[in-house]
Structure 1
């Protein structure tokens, strides 16, 4: 029995699907079980809330591994520690934590730092462990879909800074593999696509996919901050997003690794492949 937390999100949902397709027994944990109306065969849906320790212990009972995933935010350390405590109480032997690229490497408030206490807790928590640190998700470009469909430009606060943009399906597949196969205990995998890409690079590939030019427009970081604030985001998230955009613009996230291939035995999918598979979102 594999417990998957955050089972309704981009990664968690796909991990549940992949594990079930392989015949694994899966327990999908979510605060709102009604969101999983028709779980795949072999999947048990259970309520679990990181602020309710008893619900976590119930969710962890009988599990042989737990996939730890929580929505980004300053609460992540508390969530990770609560899940680990429940896993230890239930006798779960293994944990795989979804973290973020560059965790602990930068002192400028980037989102990865929210994962650092959880990573440290996993390593010292008494369970066999694996940490996954994905780069920027290809699916983040879906936030551009409305502008692209309208023929407008993509806002670009990152200049020509490149990242090892990764298909979230590859991240989920690595998670499923590390949860079910030996040889991954004690490893930290940095998961990237096969090439570093800037926002203008991705715009070119999107344009090739949908058959027309997709433009970008530079957004100064002060304007980016104002846009996020005007959208109602919490100031902590605004400053984290701005710090992350600055880091990328300065070329400090242009990391590409072979860890996806190391785990899966194949090259990671390209952004062009992801864009082709999701072209309908950008064309209506």
Structure 2
């Protein structure tokens, strides 16, 4: 059986479906099991219970363990869990004092490696789903305001992250790997806004903000620390004027090309309407 933490998240819900469709036994964790909706046959349990009986491999969404793993890894060993697949980040490649996101994921990787359990770490860059942060502005008038309009990334569809993660849970040849994952094309924020508009059949544009105004907006909701805001702004500034690097790993691991941002926009058009 596979235990999936963060099972209702952008990646987790697709991973649960991918494994269940392939006929695997899945236990999906949710903070609210009563309202969770998963494919028929999927066992649902509460996140705080973290039941590990009968589990052979665990998928870890580190957002669930932002304050540390606690006794998770010890309990995995005690219950005979063989493998941990953790959703990491390509930001680990530039981990350092000015990159708290990379530092967090790298420290989590190192803790799992030191546990003695089998491990594998998919390292995606930007998610296609990050564009959902623009949904309110797009519904309100079709103008997205943000920094560094010409910053280029290669965002990846969360279904492709899930497909790679499923392969890591089920295949021995991927143990001990940490592939960087990307989507199939380099896109600026301007490009992404335009593509969402095409999926909606309306004009959507990205309007650049100054770094100062963008930082104030990022901190205004109270959900982001100044350190993370500055880290993201510094990263986007580096991406201006240069194409994003495209990784071959999704196709190498899954046997098919990664899905385009246009496919993601079409899949999620109702969330912007």
Say whether the fold is shared (TM-score over 0.5).
Answer: yes
Structure 1, unaligned runs of 5 or more: 50-54
Secondary structure of the residue aligned to 1:60 is coil
Matching residue of 1:262: 252
Equivalent of 2:59 in 67, 76, 96: 67
Q: How far apart, in 2, do the equivalents of 1:212 and 1:19 lie?
A: 36
Give the deviation of 1:268 after TM superposition. 0.3
- Runs of 4+ in structure 1 off by over 6 angstroms are none
Secondary structure of the residue aligned to 1:248 is helix
Secondary structure of the residue aligned to 1:103 is helix
Q: How far apart, in 2, do the equivalents of 1:72 and 1:240 lie?
A: 18
Matching residue of 2:92: 103
Write out per-residue CA displacement over residues 154-198 of structure 1, whole angstroms, 9 at most, x where no aligned residue.
112133111110001111111112211231011101111011211
Root-mean-square deviation over aligned CA pairs: 2.1
Contact 1:2 1:27 in 2 (8 A): yes
TM-score (normalised: structure 1):
0.87
Secondary structure of the residue aligned to 2:173 is coil
Matching residue of 1:167: 157
Write out per-residue CA displacement over residues 227-284 of structure 1, whole angstroms, 9 at most, x where no aligned residue.
23322235x2x430331132122128933211111110111001011112222333x2
Q: How far apart, in 2, do the equivalents of 1:104 and 1:277 lie?
A: 30
TM-score (normalised: structure 2):
0.91
Matching residue of 1:52: none
Secondary structure of the residue aligned to 1:29 is strand
Moved more, 202-211 or 218-227: 202-211
Q: Does 1:187 align with 2:177?
A: yes
Q: How far apart, in 2, do the equivalents of 1:84 and 1:243 lie?
A: 29
Matching residue of 2:105: 115
Q: Does 1:82 align with 2:71?
A: yes
Contact 1:132 1:190 in 2 (8 A): yes
Q: How far apart, in 2, do the equivalents of 1:178 and 1:153 lie?
A: 39
Structure 2, unaligned runs of 5 or more: none
Matching residue of 2:24: 24
Q: How far apart, in 1, do the equivalents of 2:151 and 2:251 lie?
A: 24
